[in-house]
Amino acid sequence: MSLVVDHFYLKEKLFEGKDFLEAVNVSMVNFCDMLIDYPNSKDYAFSMFDKLCEMDLLSPEMLPKYK
């Protein structure tokens, strides 16, 4: 995630915030499959949500109660 957020998004500015959120939406469609295949995916997803909130790309109102 650091590669995508810190390098591609913040440093290189290869995509905009709305593009980032669209990618998150697409990823969440497959979240149930990720939970089965990757036991730590829930922790990774929640840390991503926290990071996106810190960056003001997401707000707590945009997220369901996930913790």
Per-residue pLDDT reduced to its tens digit, 3-55: 778 888 888 888 888 887 888 788 777 777 878 888 888 888 888 888 888 88
Alpha helices in the chain (DSSP H): 2, 17-29, 31-37, 41-54
Q: How far is CA 8 from the centre of its chain?
A: 14
pTM: 0.62
And the tokens for 31?
Answer: 């979240």
